[in-house]
Amino acid sequence: MFALLAKEPPRPTAAGGRGVFALLAEADARWLCGLYMVTFGGFVGLSGYLPLFMVDRFELTKVTGAGYAALCAAAGSLLRPLGGVLGDRIGAIRVLGVVLAAATGLGLALAALPSLPLTVGALFVLMGALGAGNGAVFCLVGARFGDRIGAMTGLVGAAGGVGGFLLPFVLGALRQATGSFGSGFVVLGAAAALTAFRLHSRRDVGGGAGSSDQGPDRDVGTEPHAPTRTGDEADHPVRPSGGRVEVHAAAALTERP
């Protein structure tokens, strides 16, 4: 049925024909990859690490430890769509700011190695926040790289996969080096704090977010809007001397108050 009825989507414009490696030359692309490496990488990495953590830290059976880990991972999966919805309504930058602040606080709280109920509760909230952050990142991807969405989603997804692959190794190495699980959560919280600080600095960037190929003027997490014209301007678009319709570009990762 799929082979008979499915059709290829419209081919991208010439601007969308650039390769994946060309995207890496743009600062916005690298920044989105870094964001997803923290949110999705943190979610996937913790999902793989938590069963061993639960068994070693609390001396649980493997089945019980895996059950707690699955419960926490479910929070991240279920809240990912919520992150996207909130990103559309209030802005993805704001959502990511809350997510990273929560990840910082919860990471440091987990570094104190609390009791089992508190640990499960903190991990449940942490994984849910990271899942919501995953959805918010892709709000930014669509807003900034709408004409190259296929290549960009692949690139961002690969960055998240790399983060998820590396995190368990980092946490395990810190556990072996320090003799405590707390050091790994300190590093996780510090990484979230550093990303939050960088996010705050980038939201104030104007004019160009490190890329010369900007999309239409819009606030992140909102629908595109057109300038209001009156009189003859409503019927005749403004054209420069070359005859091409004038387009005003702004940084897609900048939010205005």
Average pLDDT over residues 232-244: 44
Q: Please give the CATH superfamily to which domain 21-202 belongs.
A: MFS general substrate transporter like domains (1.20.1250.20)
Average pLDDT over residues 113-123: 97
The tokens describing 150, both together, are: 């296929």
Residues 3-23 pLDDT 10s: 788 777 666 554 444 577 788
Instruction: Provide the mean pLDDT of the chain.
Output: 81
In the predicted structure, residue 82 carries a pLDDT above the cut 90: yes
In the predicted structure, residue 224 carries a pLDDT above the cut 60: no
Q: By C-alpha distance, which of 116, 144, 138, 132 is closest to 219?
A: 144
Q: Which residues make Cβ contacts (< 8 Å) with residue 120, sequence separation at least 6?
A: 68, 71, 72
In the predicted structure, residue 42 carries a pLDDT above the cut 60: yes
Residues 188-213 pLDDT 10s: 999 999 999 998 877 633 233 333 33
Helices (H), the chain: 2-5, 20-23, 27-58, 62-90, 92-111, 116-144, 149-178, 182-202
At residue 130, the pLDDT reads 97
- The amino acid sitting at 234 is A
Tell me how far apart the terminal alpha carbons of the chain are, to the nearest angstrom: 49
Average pLDDT over residues 82-103: 95
Please give the model's pTM, rounded to 2 decimal places. 0.74
Percent above pLDDT 90 for the chain: 62
